[in-house]
Chain A
Amino acid sequence: MKKAIVNTAECVACGVCAKTCPRQAITIFHGIYAHVNEDLCIGCKKCEKECPASVIQVVEKEVAS
């Protein structure tokens, strides 16, 4: 499964990804970083394309272990 992951240490919490996500899978955790709800994410890469800081990436992930 493809899922978006955030480099939380460098995320600027601008919220662009959350706005662009078609599944509303992203929330901004207390104004600190973006958090992806993997159950909702469909790996469409919209967030990756839009993130101004380029800190969110869609990667291949093992299904729930």
Chain B
Amino acid sequence: MKRWYDYLWIFSAAYMISGFFNILFAWVGLICFITPLLLSIMGKGKIYCNSYCGRGQLFELLGSRLKLSSNRNIPAFIRSKWFRYGFLAFFMIMFSIMIFSTYLVFNGTKNLEEAITLLWTIKLPWNWAYTGKVSPWIAQFAFGFYSVMLTSTILGMITMFFFKPRSWCVYCPMGTMTQAISILKYGRKMR
């Protein structure tokens, strides 16, 4: 039986598309950062990943239903602790740099850069999606945050294609963080 939250993939897809039209929609994505963290801090474990994550559902849909996934086993190193926590650390550093450039735009040291950075390196002009009606730092954060979302979608698509549909969930920084919070909260109680 389908429940309302089984359709959250529509929200995820709409979110990714909206960034092509108006970058300010990127702000909405904060929901996908704050909700899972709050839920696991509240002791709900990984309920966000288990039920409510539209992105996970989207990979499932593309990989399983549309058969875009080759369903191979993921290389063991990707599920290893050092890789997952290492990727989380890298992600956090890049995220902090993004926040810092937002701050530099806020205090006027830097000019707004109307571009998306893919895979932390490739800069793509994205000026069509911004009409310039808000403070520059609000737009800067939107460009930065959407870059993060688009980059992770692309990485997820690549691993969805080569491995199992939801292989992104093995090294997704949000998933690693919520599991880490759960471990801190409940300890690693082995059976």
Residues of A at under 8 Å CB distance from B?
8, 10, 12-16, 18-19, 28-32, 35, 49-55
Number of CB contacts from chain A to chain B under 8 A:
87
Closest approach, in angstroms, between the C-beta of A6 and any C-beta of chain B? 9
The interface on chain B, measured as residues whose beta carbon lies within 8 A of the other chain's beta carbons, has a size of: 38
Q: B residues near A, CB below 8 A?
A: 40, 43-47, 49-51, 56, 60, 71, 73-74, 79-80, 84, 163-170, 175-176, 178-179, 181-183, 185-186, 188-191
Of A15, A29, A53, which contacts B170 at CB under 8 A? Answer: A53
Select from chain A the residue with minimum beta-carbon distance to B40: A31
Q: How far is B46's CA from A18's CA once the two chains are assembled, in angstroms?
A: 12
Please give me the 5 A-B residue pairs with the lowest Cβ-Cβ distance, nearest first. A31-B45, A15-B50, A31-B182, A31-B46, A30-B186
* B185 and A30 contacting across the interface, CB-CB below 8 Å: yes
Where chain B touches its partner, the secondary structure class is: helix
Task: List residues of chain B with CB within 8 A of the CB of A15.
Answer: 46, 49-51
Q: A30-B45, A31-B45 are in contact. Are A55 and B51 (CB under 8 A)?
A: no
